[in-house]
Structure 1
């Protein structure tokens, strides 16, 4: 499985991306720090990237730093049993049926 290039790398860095989007570089840096682009900005980021001829897709915009755990996506899930040797204190006894 191939890892997507970061949208910030595709734009050439935080400052070039901020310039292209007419956004303060502090906003773009915050997007990179939290690992997401606000939903209302995503269409604009995609449109400007395509206009500039960048090889950008919607997936780059939704997952700007790449898909989380993309390296582990091909591994099978291993079920792990959860042992419980005592009843929960919060369980109530079964109520008598009302007839």
Structure 2
């Protein structure tokens, strides 16, 4: 995934993803706004996009906008990022 392109854009936008995931576009838009795909949806997300011909990695699903830049110190990460990194 290039630095300029987030996963949602690369996969055709929220409506296209919503259709593949059998979710409402507003649900997928909420994922995009939160900058994360819920953990309980991640495996299904990878599988449905693989079926549609997209190569999606687990890292991309965990960090759909790319890994956050940090100095590596846990205080640089939000609580949600710390729990996902653990």
Q: TM-score range by the shorter chain?
A: 0.7 to 0.9
- What do residues 15-64 of structure 1 show as CA deviations (whole Å, max 9, x unaligned)? 01101110011110000001011100000101011111112111110001
Which consecutive residues of structure 1, in runs of 5 or more, have no partner in the other structure? 78-99
Instruction: Tell me whether 56-65 or 2-11 shows the greater mean CA deviation.
Output: 2-11
- What do residues 45-87 of structure 1 show as CA deviations (whole Å, max 9, x unaligned)? 0101111111211111000111112xx77xxx9xxxxxxxxxx
CA distance in 1 between counterparts of 2:18 and 2:51 reads: 15
* Count of paired positions: 72
Which consecutive residues of structure 2, in runs of 5 or more, have no partner in the other structure? 74-86
TM-score for the superposition, normalised by structure 2 = 0.72
Higher RCO (C-alpha under 8 Å, 6+ residues apart): 1
Going by fraction, where is helix more abundant, 1 or 2? 2
Q: After the TM superposition, which segments of 4 or more aligned residues of structure 1 sit over 2 Å from their partners?
A: 2-5
Q: How far did 1:4 drift?
A: 7.8
Aligned to 1:92: none
Aligned to 1:42: 42
Please say which structure displays the higher CA radius of gyration.
1
